[in-house]
Structures are given as C-alpha cells and as structure tokens.
Chain A
C-alpha cells in the first residue's frame, strides 16, 4: 500500500493548474503537488470523460471530392477497413458519369475495441467530369453551408437537444490526379473556395504511376502552387496551438499532399498477407511507407488528428460561419432575420444579435 501511495504522489506532481477552491490564501496561484495533502483524484476526470464518450460514441463526417475514377471509394474503404463507400452500398452499382454534381452520403456505425463511431461518407459524383466544369463546386459549397446552418439552428433553439446531431463536414479529402505537372485550374478554383469553409486534405490519387523523384517534384510544385494562390489546407499553420503541435504539424505539412494508393485486395508477400496491388512488375504494398503514403494519411485522419479535425471544424470554421450569419441577421434588422426560428424564440435571437 505504501508503494502505491508513493507512485501516486509522483503522478500528482505534474498537475500545475490552479485549483478553483484555493483563491485568497495562495499568492502564487499554482499549487504544487507536494502541497496537496494526499491524492485528490483530479486525473480521474480523464477516465470519466473516456467512459462517457465511449458510451455516446463519436461522429465523423468525411467528404471525398474528385473526378470519377480516381479511387475515392476504394480509398475510403481501405481507410476504414470496411465497405463504407457509396459504391459498395448501392445495389447494382454502375459506373456512369452523371451529368450533374449531386452529393450522396452514406452512414455507417463501425466499432473497434468498444469504441463506436458513426462514420458518414459524403461522395460527390459528377464533380469535374463534364466538358464544362464551371461552378461545379457550387453544390458542394452549398451542402457544407447547409450543414452549418442546420447546426446553427439547433444551437439557437430554446429547447435544444442534449447532443446536437453533427452533420457538419469535418474533413474534405480532395483527390488530385497524378499528372506530375502542376495543379489544374479546376483544382485551384475548388480549393480556394472550399479552403475557407472546411478543412481540406489534398491527396495525390493513384500515385503508383509516379516514381519517387517525380513524386517529390510534383509535391513541391503543388505546395508552391497552393502558397501562390493563398490556399490553406489542413493542418493550417495559424491554428497550431503550441510549439509541440507546430513541430508535429510541420512534419505533416512537409509531406502534403500525400501520395496514396488504395486497394481492398490482399496478396501474399514474404509469407504475410498484405493489402496491395499486384502488377506484372511487382506488388505495391499499400501500407508500406516506402511504397506510398497511405499509412501517413490514415494516421493523420484517424489515429492522431481525428479529434483535432472535429475541433477545428467546430471552433474555427463553424464559428466563422456563425459570426457571418448572425451579423447578416443583425444588419437585416431584427424583424427581417432570415433565421426562421421556432415559436417563442424571438427574444433569444434578439439577445444573440446584440453580441
């Protein structure tokens, strides 16, 4: 028992935040662990949080955008190791180029080690496939804003739900064809517009057609292009909270856009079963970092930055939209607020618009 006590004390030392109950007496404001008269158990909060979120589950909405045939559905299936794309879920799926851009979303609940996640994949068939692709990004911009609007309405409601259903797009994966040259005009137009309202992660699709040198050159040129056009992709530099984040994110930024290859077929390589594409000249292992950067993308999207993506969407993009919207309704005057709220909520909107 005594040993346990010692160990616990060591851990307690790391807590340096001022405790709310002690205010007047302490001049420094920070209580060192040594000053506590025993183990308080603050850190158990983490456990409680974990238990609660595990019960509630997570939501994640990912949008995939790109021309038809770039491997969007395959990549999503590979990322989540299950058949979650629109292609796998529609019966009698036929690969046809649709004449207009329309968005389709498919939701699944996937579970791993007791953690449930409601994953929604939003697909954009028809994007960039026509001869005249002007304004093909408009339906997408509209959709993103509509989700923000939905959330805003729920938030401003008087009787709002305990957990507002979150259909906002947390991440938009934009697929660039592996041309090896520069960004195309349509890519620039799309990313410029969407980069302001959603977190964009550009990837080089079907990257098994580029050798390693070509890949490096292509990435460099894309990064130059992005900078020249003022396009900010995730992770954005200005949202780095501290030095630790910045170092981590800088490493990621050096590798953007990720060159990915996706597949759902397995082959035998050196006695192991690996996900890969088998060609006459070799097997391209999808999860091998020496072959392609799929593993880096997966780590970014799921293992390390999933919560960060959601936070950025909520704290930054959604807030920008909210401020814009509320300013609009303010400018329009209280009577003409375009936000059609439920009965009995006019006062609330008055109060909000005075912010």
Chain B
C-alpha cells in the first residue's frame, strides 16, 4: 500500500470521534498530525518534477518502454539512422520534456536519452558524455543554490537512470560493468533486462541470478529499495521482499494494443502467442512501474538530493578549498564558501569539549532522577 494512503488513514483515525477514551485523548490532541495532509495539498498545487535517464545500446526497446511506462508517445517522429551515419556517430544527450496530469496531480517528466551509446566499434569511454552531463546538472544546481536568488531553482538533476542490459548475453558485458561503475556514485542506477520476451522463464531466472552475482562481485552500487519499517504490515513487507528478489527487472515494452482473452491489452502479437506487458507472469513491467512511479519516485528524488548531490557537493568544495590552500590566499574577501577544514589541534579540542558536555549531561540526568525518586 502507498505510504500516502497509510498516512491518510492515520489522520482520519485521529480526526474521527470514537470512544470516550479517544475523546479524552482528543483533548490532548494538538492537531499537527494533519501536517502530511497539508504538505500533500501544497505539493499537488506546486506539481512534481522527475528526470529519468535511459541508457543502453540502441535497439533494446528503451523508447518503447518509456512510452509504455508513461502512456505517452514521446518519440513520434524519430528517424532511425542507417549504418553509414552511425559509423561516425558519437554519444549524444537528448532531452524530451512532457507534462502529464493525473487526478489533479501534475508531473513534469523529463526523459534524458543517450543515443549512440555502445554502438560504435570502439566504445572506449562512451559513458563520458553521460557522466559529464550528470555532473553539469549537479554543478548548475550547486551554483544556483549558492546564488542570491534561490526562488526559482530549476532542478534538472537526474533522479534515476534506467540501464538496459541486453538479454542476448550470459550476464553483464564489459561495457555494462564499466558504465555502471562510472555512474553508480552519481545517479541511482536501476538495471533492467530488456526485451525479455526472447527468454524462457528458466533463462530469465538464470540471467537475473547471474547479473545479481556480477553486480555484487564488481561492487556496483545500484539503487537499493529502502528497508521497510519494522512496524509495517506483513503484507507490505512480503511485497517488499519479493520486489528485492526480483531485481533486475525483466521488462517488455509495447506501444500497440492487442486483443487477448477477450480484452484489449498492451502487448505484442506473435504467431505463437500474445505477450501481455501488464501481465505479471509474463514480465516485470508492472513491478517496475510501481517502483518507479507509484511507490519510490519520491525516494529516488531524496536519494539523489541527499546522497549523490551531497557527494558531488562535498567533492566540489574539497577541490575548491584545496585549490585555495594551494594558492595561499591570505586576505580573501568574505568567503561564500565554508571555512577550510579545521586542523588536527582544534579538532582534538572540540572533541574534548564534547566529551565534557556529555559527562555533564549525564550527571544532570542522574540528579534529576534522584530528585524524582525523592519526590515519590
């Protein structure tokens, strides 16, 4: 169940008059339990934004999957390049923005595509344009944040990167490993097995196990779903566990609607059967959509802000301060940057003072307890 829904239930419970005991408690009820509701209303008014990057070799179904996920047609007039043009192609970064609205909630969705990735004969450092792009977005946000007018900061940071692993191989290829290692500390990577309709269920399982092993072996930090709180419902915990065992998701995308079992569903029509995109036993598309949109979109944004962006920021600041120290600037004007890292001596003093404070707090608590006992 959605965390939003659970919280709403909580608020309802609190606001609903029931037994006398609860009414008594109502008297002590301050009312800030409605805060989530207020946040909800404000954000609905403001709207959300989400930047999704799709990366992988061409022909793996990236555009089809994006269209299936968001039920849009972002790539209407796309022209496929032929082999001659592609021999000289370098990796580009293209952006498509679309505004989607559903039940009053507005979402500004930006899809960052990486045509040309992994297509050339020599793919050395083909991920460099992508890491440069992500760094650029971080840098732009950093500058805006440190600037004077912070009202209208445009957040173009990439919140999630879907990496498409071809189903044709026996696991991760060298280019997959190198790409993910170059990006796992800059963006949330969600690896996917694309075009999963060419694999039998056994093969899917084997490939997933293999990919999971290799991800662990190479130390790639893909996006981890946050652990459930221990007081969540059993059903929720079970779902969460299943989800984690299902990664990487094996997905199939489709832009066409076919008739299957008397219903019109999104799917692919083959002479030997119909693959339904939204059928959980056929592929993990539904799971991916739930993760990406329905349950973890906000978490992805949070991790981007709190972890990846902070890493970048710390790195950036360290570089700047080390540069300053090198330049030996004595009387610099009012520094916008924080002070340089304190040296070892001051650190030790700070630590001593902290310990003293702690000891004093403990003594205070003990004294309070003794007084309390004396009262009773």
Q: Mark B197-208, 1 if CB is under 8 A from A, else 0.
A: 111110000000
Q: Are B200 and A277 interface neighbours, CB within 8 A?
A: yes
Asked whether any CB of chain B lies closer than 8 Å to the CB of A9, the reply is no
Answer yes or no: B225 CB below 8 A from chain A CBs.
no
Q: Are B168 and A208 in contact (CB under 8 A)?
A: no
Whether the pair B82, A225 counts as a contact (CB closer than 8 A) is yes
| Cα–Cα, bound, A205→B272 (Å) | 17
**Which of A70, A71, A177, A208 has a CB less than 8 Å from the CB of B270?**
A208
Query: B81 contacts the other chain (Cβ, under 8 Å)?
Result: yes
CA distance A187 to B83 in the complex (A): 9
Alpha-carbon distance A277/B126, docked complex (angstroms)? 36
Interface residues of A in 40-81 (CB under 8 A from B): 67-71
How does the 8 Å CB contact mask read for A286-298 relative to B, with 1 for contact and 0 for none? 0000110000000
Q: Give the residues in chain A near B83, CB-CB below 8 Å.
A: 182-185, 187-188, 225, 228-229
Provided the pairs A185-B87, A279-B197 are in contact, do residues A69 and B82 lie with their beta carbons within 8 angstroms? no
Q: Which residue of B lies closest to A135 (CB)?
A: B121
Q: Is the CB of B59 within 8 A of A179?
A: yes
Tell me if A92 is interfacial: C-beta within 8 Å of chain B.
no
Whole-angstrom distance between the alpha carbons of A195 and B69 in the complex? 42
Contacts of B270 in A (CB 8 A): 208, 211-212, 281-282, 284
Q: Report the Cα distance A221→B195, complex, angstroms.
A: 20
For B80, the closest partner residue in chain A by CB is: A181
The stretch among B138-146, B169-177, B237-245 that forms the contact with chain A is: B169-177
A306 interfacial by beta-carbon distance below 8 Å: no
Q: Does A196 contact B (CB under 8 A)?
A: no
Q: Which of A249-279 contact B (CB under 8 A)?
A: 277-279
Chain A interface size band reads 35 or more
Candidates B119, B175, B198, B282; contact of A280 at CB < 8 Å: B282
Q: Is the CB of B168 within 8 A of A132?
A: no
Please encode chain B, from 123 to 146, with 1 for each CB lying within 8 Å of some chain A CB and 0 for all others.
110100000000000000000000
For the complex, what is the distance from the CA of A134 to the CA of B119, rounded to whole Å?
12
Instruction: Please give me the residue from chain B that is nearest to A261 by CB atom.
Output: B198
Interface string of A123-152 (1 = CB under 8 A from B): 000000111111000000000000000000
| Distance in Å: Cβ of B179 to nearest Cβ of chain A | 9
Q: Which residue of A lies closest to B272 (CB)?
A: A282
Q: How far is the CA of A183 from the CA of B119 in the complex (A)?
A: 10
Contacts of B171 in A (CB 8 A): 95
- Given A67-B168, A69-B169, A208-B198, A228-B123 contact (CB < 8 Å): no
Residues in B68-105 with C-beta less than 8 Å from chain A: 80-84, 86-87
Please tell me if the beta carbons of A97 and B174 are within 8 angstroms of each other in the complex. Answer: yes
Contact status of A131 and B124, CB under 8 A, knowing A178-B198, A185-B87, A280-B282: yes
Partner of A185, one of B121, B126, B271, B282: B121
B269: min CB distance to chain A, Å? 6
CB <8 Å contact, A281 and B275: yes
Contact A131 B166, beta carbon cutoff 8 Å = no
CB distance from B246 to the nearest CB of A (A): 15
Tell me if A206 and B198 are in contact (CB < 8 A): yes
A345: interface (CB < 8 Å): no
Q: Is B170 touching A212 in the complex (CB atoms < 8 A)?
A: no
Contacts A225-B83, A280-B201 given; indicate if A97 touches B173 (C-beta within 8 A): yes
Task: Tell me the smallest distance from the CB of A181 to a CB of chain B, in Å.
Answer: 5
Given the complex, which residues of A lie within 8 Å of B113, measured CB to CB? none
- Once the chains bind, are A205 and B168 in contact (CB under 8 Å)? yes
Distance of A332 from chain B, by nearest CB (Å) = 34
**Quick one: given A211-B268, A280-B201, are A134 and B122 in contact (CB under 8 Å)?**
yes
Q: What B residues does A182 contact at CB under 8 A?
A: 80-83, 86
Q: Does A180 contact B (CB under 8 A)?
A: yes
Which A residues are in CB contact (< 8 Å) with B275? 281
Q: B residues 140-154 with Cβ under 8 Å of A?
A: none
Which residue of A has the minimal Cβ distance to B89? A185
Over the window 277-302 of chain B, the binary record of Cβ atoms lying under 8 Å from chain A Cβ atoms (1 yes, 0 no) is: 00001100000000000000000000
CB <8 Å contact, A133 and B173: no
Q: Which residues of B contact A278 (CB under 8 A)?
A: 200
Q: Does A82 contact B (CB under 8 A)?
A: no
Closest chain-B Cβ to A286's Cβ sits at a distance in Å of: 11
State the Cβ distance, A208 to closest chain B Cβ, in Å: 5
* A166 at interface, CB cutoff 8 A: no
Tell me if A189 is interfacial: C-beta within 8 Å of chain B.
yes
Find the residue from A95, A211, A212 having the highest chain B CB count within 10 A.
Answer: A211
Chain A proximity of B205: nearest CB distance (Å): 13
Q: With contacts A177-B166, A185-B120 known, is A281 near B274, CB below 8 A?
A: yes
Chain A residues contacting B271 (CB-CB under 8 Å) are: 212, 290-291
Task: Report the bound CA distance from A130 to B126 in whole Å.
Answer: 13
- A211 CA to B252 CA in the complex, in Å? 13
A133:B121 contact, CB within 8 angstroms: yes
User: A279 to B168, Cβ gap below 8 A?
Assistant: no
- Provide the residues of chain A in CB contact with B198, threshold 8 Å: 178, 206, 208-209
Residues of A within 8 A of B (CB): 67-71, 95, 97, 129-134, 177-189, 205-206, 208-209, 211-212, 221, 224-225, 228-229, 277-285, 290-291
Nearest 9 CB-CB pairs, A to B? A179-B59, A282-B273, A69-B169, A281-B273, A209-B198, A282-B272, A95-B170, A183-B83, A185-B87
Excluding A133-B122, A221-B80, A228-B84, 12 further A-B contacts by CB distance (< 8 Å) are A97-B173, A129-B173, A132-B122, A177-B166, A178-B168, A178-B195, A184-B83, A229-B83, A279-B200, A281-B197, A282-B273, A290-B271
